Structure 1
């Protein structure tokens, strides 16, 4: 699931300022080249850019023809560093007496992210990482003076690796790799499961597919995968999880719209709306269109897909074109219906309100989110969510339903928000819904007032049906 834009510029980009000419003598397929590019992306995140936008900018500014050769390694190192950034920065502070220039520090952080793994499971040998980190620094004239520093720091780490990593465990931020305010918020929200929640956010999310009900079934598609010697398991009513991730162009049926990539937790949205042929449906905040497509796969609908950002709205059309489905895509602010809804005498049978949020439930797929968010962002997001809900509720016809969705694990954006809505609008009847889904291996206590039978908080082993991102779902019917 792609994070939705919020009050903070999590989708902004920052073009690297380093000269592309200084890297020409580093082979694009070399680890040194990848470390330099990944360090540029890490630096951009540290100044407020989202990692995907930062990577796109890095590739655009790389020497001509080099991006394709380096893309996979650069992305792997950058995402790995985001998951281990606090540990890496703790090590830099411990081993470097005077803070190095930012780019040198970011190269060191990327190198540490590779060296933290023990040698048996490491992506590269320690010698290669040290050698190539020095090469990456040497390739830039303005930082060549620091190559001795980089070499000494990394070799010192390797000599005392176990002792240093054990010491880092005593620092809570370095141990968990989240800002301290985030750790405290998770402790308050989930006191019996906070460690499992934080640990889940540091894992790699699986590649889960949604089977298009107009084309196939889960059982039939699993057989298709077996025919292609691709291991997979059922993960839901329409969900299939691949044992090993792969590019979408290698996934059978993807190009023809037989399957789409969508987390198992996100797939619940369309199912919970219980749409039927002929219904008039609004998918508010719809980009990139995953839930829009799923709704149309389940029924023939008069569907309006709303998105405030024109560039993101284009992705809705692209996704629907691949699925060979149609919706009316409108550009506008969900919190200001007068901008886009001129047929007020035609309310909606169903509204999907997948509102902007902290994206705290999807950090395993977007590990930069934790470094972009600030504690003060939550109150602003809560206010924005309430503004949108207040504007959408009058558009629901009597007897119709609104589904409130966030990809957050903070109660302020979940259960507390649902309770506020129920108190604010007396004509809103709360129906059964999952409530809070915590990522991967834990689930939250049921909200008994909503009629859920999910049971008390328990820790579970991740299996085919429990490995999902973090979401909150609340469903309301208008009297």
Structure 2
């Protein structure tokens, strides 16, 4: 998307940018990368970037419904792809559940007007501005009837691909509806207390003094009642806290760390668990990742926390990076479909395919087998995945234990995504293994 004559503070500019990002997701690009490219191409200022991101994420959470409505409203699929995406963004806004509560981010007719303006401003779809106007105005006139008809489709009712809901029904027959609802919720802003620099009680007092409502949802986890920009989080720049989901905060304690241990954090980026390990004990930590750019993010986080680790670029499925010295503890946060964190990354549901779980489980098994040989006798390996699919979690853990005669220790197993007052976390899986002593 090139720069347009639209004002950067207009909803039309925002809708056009969000639509371009959504269209890129439909071609297989992850939403954060699609947004970054759109920001660069448009020269959008920070406030407009935030608005584009908000609309794009809303659309990903409502895409099933938006596309079902569009199929009812348009005689044929709108083309080009950006036009289809623009209509989906607009329909996601005007059909949002919040509309009924009176707290929608924009007035319905403002969305219609600005969607038409956005369409007219782009040469590739200016011809369709009349159609955009007609489609959206018809939706406003016939909202209830159209929604009732669209929601007969399961993809529209739940906003997930049909194979996704079918897999959840089979895997979690008693919980699948709650899992889907949790995945459609807005994620909380959860902080991890750095016990090297503060305590839970002291930090809660800091938040109270700043007028920031929060609650404790774990030994180190504080959930803010309302998300705020990272730059406004008290003590963040000083390393008092880090942003990390409550479920992810279980990894470091499960490793049973002691000072002086040699620890490997495999597949370490973006480094949340790396920082927590170093906050927990004085260990010799190697953080490994295959992407040097992602390793640079770990370094930035460690500098903020005033902690040190050895960082190395390498493939956890290989051993070219290993010096041959065994590790006391290994954290294996392996690649997966990320099906347990869709509330934070709603584009994942539309990017993944049913066969991805089997493919990624094969990759993860290779990594686990490789890392096991690097663990010292009596050492512990923690297998972590942010997937809900048993093929990537419990089935993987059971097969690994059988292959290596590994001692399986107590760990949470599959955590389902939960949205509740006392618990609010993503869907992660934990399995802890110990190698037999010599």
Match of 2:332 among 343, 349, 353: 353
Q: Does 1:82 find its partner at 2:60?
A: yes
SS class of match (1:411): coil
Determine the structure 2 residue equivalent to 1:366: 345
Q: Does 1:93 find its partner at 2:93?
A: no
**How many angstroms does 1:19 deviate by?**
3.4
**Between 375-384 and 37-46, the greater mean CA deviation after superposition:** 375-384
**How many angstroms does 1:105 deviate by?**
1.0
Determine the structure 1 residue equivalent to 2:93: 114
Q: Does 1:132 find its partner at 2:90?
A: no
TM-score by length of 2: 0.97
Match of 1:396 among 361, 375, 383: 375
**Cα separation, 1, equivalents of 2:47 and 2:409:** 51
SS class of match (2:378): strand
Determine the structure 2 residue equivalent to 1:470: 427
Q: How is 1:307-318 mapped onto 2 (pairs within 5 angstroms)?
A: 307-318=289-300
Determine the structure 2 residue equivalent to 1:452: none
Determine the structure 2 residue equivalent to 1:456: none
| Cα distance per residue 1:224-258 (max 9 Å; x no partner) | 11111111011111111100100111111000111
**Cα separation, 2, equivalents of 1:188 and 1:174:** 20
**Cα separation, 1, equivalents of 2:2 and 2:131:** 22
**How many angstroms does 1:262 deviate by?**
0.1
Determine the structure 1 residue equivalent to 2:283: 301
**Cα separation, 2, equivalents of 1:109 and 1:67:** 24
SS class of match (2:373): helix
CA contact (8 A) 2:212 2:224 kept: yes
SS class of match (2:434): strand
SS class of match (2:425): coil
Determine the structure 2 residue equivalent to 1:5: none
Match of 2:357 among 361, 365, 378: 378
Q: Does 1:421 find its partner at 2:404?
A: no
**Cα separation, 1, equivalents of 2:199 and 2:260:** 23
CA contact (8 A) 2:358 2:392 kept: no
**Between 318-327 and 68-77, the greater mean CA deviation after superposition:** 68-77
SS class of match (1:267): helix
SS class of match (1:392): helix
Aligned length: 432
**How many angstroms does 1:68 deviate by?**
2.2
**Cα separation, 1, equivalents of 2:170 and 2:205:** 45
Determine the structure 2 residue equivalent to 1:433: 411
Match of 2:253 among 259, 266, 271: 271
**Cα separation, 1, equivalents of 2:366 and 2:123:** 52
Mark the runs of 5 or more structure 1 residues left unpaired by the alignment: 1-17, 442-461
| Cα distance per residue 1:278-331 (max 9 Å; x no partner) | 011000000011100000001000000000111111111111010000000011
| Cα distance per residue 1:374-421 (max 9 Å; x no partner) | 111111101001000000001111111000000011111111111101
Determine the structure 1 residue equivalent to 2:35: 55
**How many angstroms does 1:141 deviate by?**
2.6
Determine the structure 1 residue equivalent to 2:322: 341
**How many angstroms does 1:143 deviate by?**
1.5
**Cα separation, 2, equivalents of 1:52 and 1:67:** 17
SS class of match (1:141): coil
**Cα separation, 2, equivalents of 1:316 and 1:99:** 44
Q: Does 1:19 find its partner at 2:32?
A: no
**How many angstroms does 1:100 deviate by?**
1.4
| Cα distance per residue 1:325-355 (max 9 Å; x no partner) | 0000011000101x1002x1x2111000000
**Cα separation, 2, equivalents of 1:274 and 1:370:** 34
Q: Does 1:34 find its partner at 2:14?
A: yes
TM-score by length of 1: 0.89
| Cα distance per residue 1:150-189 (max 9 Å; x no partner) | 0010011011111111122210011111111111111111
**Cα separation, 1, equivalents of 2:143 and 2:399:** 50
